[in-house]
């Protein structure tokens, strides 16, 4: 750690899947990017002191606490990293914003668009740096897609087909968690937020949606191994039609019980002169179809990640060696620090988190009403 650079201290709430991922990203960032600051894994909070102590030891934090309020109130914390369950995001963020701290919040920004709106307004009024963890957008190949679309290389974009399918909820013996909580759980909120954020990043505002959803597992144990069951009141899967403001029509399907699929966050964008196809399961490859190929030479061609796709070169000087999921989070942290130092908002700021949440809310409303629903907040 250089003694000549400013040190930014991270306080992290939560130490599960995403906690580990954030800690790794903050730790690795300085070695991979020409960081103008030092990052210190300063303090971690979890549900109890003992839990937090174990996590501090495992993840490399200097201090720990069983009280997240104490972490947020610690004057030495510069960045509050929120990797706790969705229903806690608002209270943690608002407390951190009130103290002028940078807030790095996992997706979805909150459990409803109204809550996300409160967070967005508070962050904007306080002018604090803020970012939502839509890490899949950090893949340099997704920037290539965005450039190809906006430059007109694909002609007029006429269709979007997106999907986020995983299989982590297939076991009916899995107990209730924040993911199945009626207050903000369900596949649409959990993983649907990723495909909605991708759709918006590539093609802009979604104006209207209609959807159908299904709850496949009717009840789940209240705790691991318990014989007591409680009903599941959220969706396991959903299909939605999307009307973008640009005129593009599209669809997404979301499914956390997709047998055979471990990480199919995928999309196909169709333009009048070309098409793109991508799946996170092969995140280092983009399929591109371009018009004008002579007979017998048609079909999608594969583009592979390499140092020409910034910031791939920060990780590896040779093409084809591949980035991984955790690398996307390191890139995200580099963007968080850039936002913090420059004052320039990142695309996935709280305003964007709110807009994604508005699309999620509209999809959920439509699944109940059976009607087309307008997306608010755009």
Ligand X SMILES: NC(=O)c1ccc[n+]([C@@H]2O[C@H](COP(=O)([O-])OP(=O)(O)OC[C@H]3O[C@@H](n4cnc5c(N)ncnc54)[C@H](O)[C@@H]3O)[C@@H](O)[C@H]2O)c1
CB nearer to ligand X: give 80 or 340. 80
CB nearer to ligand X: give 11 or 19. 19
Burial letters 270-302, b for 16+ CB under 10 A, else e: bbeebbbbbbbeebbebbbbbeeeeeeeeeeee
Angstrom distance (rounded) from CA 109 to CA 236: 20
Minimal distance, residue 265 CB to ligand X, in Å: 9
Minimal distance, residue 46 CB to ligand X, in Å: 4
Minimal distance, residue 87 CB to ligand X, in Å: 9
Residue 344 makes CB contacts below 8 A (sequence gap 6+) with: 338
Please list every residue from 184 through 213 that binds ligand X, using CB under 6 A: 190
Angstrom distance (rounded) from CA 215 to CA 210: 17
- Count of residues touching ligand X (by CB under 6 A): 21
Q: Which of 133, 140, 185, 274 binds ligand X (CB under 6 A)?
A: 133
User: 199: which 2 tokens?
Assistant: 């759709």
Minimal distance, residue 165 CB to ligand X, in Å: 15
What is the number of alpha carbons within 13 Å of residue 153 lying toward its C-beta? 14
223 binds ligand X (CB under 6 A): no
110 binds ligand X (CB under 6 A): no
CB nearer to ligand X: give 15 or 213. 15
Q: Which of 102, 135, 255, 334 binds ligand X (CB under 6 A)?
A: 135
Closest CA to 6 of 36, 32, 43, 27: 36
128 binds ligand X (CB under 6 A): no
User: 109: which 2 tokens?
Assistant: 């920004």
Please list every residue from 11 through 70 that binds ligand X, using CB under 6 A: 13-19, 45-47, 68
> Tokens 């924040």 appear where?
178
Interface residues toward ligand X, by CB under 6 A: 13-19, 45-47, 68, 83-86, 88, 106-107, 133, 135, 190
């Amino acid at each position: 750690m250089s003694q000549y650079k400013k040190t930014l201290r991270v306080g992290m709430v939560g130490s599960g899947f995403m906690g580990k991922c954030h800690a790794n990203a903050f730790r690795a960032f300085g070695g991979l990017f020409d960081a103008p600051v030092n990052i210190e894994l300063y303090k971690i909070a979890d549900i109890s002191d003992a839990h937090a102590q174990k996590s501090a030891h495992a993840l490399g934090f200097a201090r720990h606490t069983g009280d997240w309020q104490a972490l947020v109130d610690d004057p030495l914390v510069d960045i509050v990293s929120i990797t706790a369950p969705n229903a806690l995001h608002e209270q943690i963020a608002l407390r951190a914003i009130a103290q002028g701290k940078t807030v790095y919040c996992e997706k979805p920004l909150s459990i409803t668009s109204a809550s996300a709106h409160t967070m967005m307004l508070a962050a904007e009024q306080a002018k604090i740096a803020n970012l939502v963890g839509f890490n899949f957008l950090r893949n340099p190949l997704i920037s290539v897609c965005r450039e190809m679309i906006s430059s007109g290389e694909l002609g007029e974009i006429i269709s979007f087909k997106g999907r986020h399918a995983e299989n982590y909820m297939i076991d009916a013996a899995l107990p209730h968690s924040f993911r199945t909580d009626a207050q903000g759980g369900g596949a649409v909120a959990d993983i649907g937020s990723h495909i909605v954020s991708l759709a918006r990043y590539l093609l802009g505002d979604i104006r209207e949606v209609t959807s159908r959803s299904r709850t496949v597992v009717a009840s789940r144990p209240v705790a691991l191994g318990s014989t007591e069951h409680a009903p599941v009141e959220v969706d396991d899967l959903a299909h939605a039609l999307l009307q973008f403001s640009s005129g593009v029509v599209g669809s997404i399907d979301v499914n956390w019980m997709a047998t055979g699929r471990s990480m199919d966050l995928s999309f196909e964008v169709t333009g009048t002169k070309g098409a793109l196809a991508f799946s996170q399961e092969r995140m280092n490859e983009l399929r591109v179809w371009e018009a004008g190929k002579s007979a017998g030479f048609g079909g999608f061609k594969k583009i592979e990640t390499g140092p020409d796709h910034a910031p791939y070169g920060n990780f590896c000087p040779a093409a084809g060696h591949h980035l991984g999921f955790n690398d996307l989070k390191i890139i995200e942290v580099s963007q968080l620090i850039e936002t913090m130092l420059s004052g320039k908002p990142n695309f996935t700021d709280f305003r964007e988190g709110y807009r994604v949440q508005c699309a999620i809310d509209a999809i959920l409303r439509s699944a109940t009403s059976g009607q087309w629903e307008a997306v608010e907040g755009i």
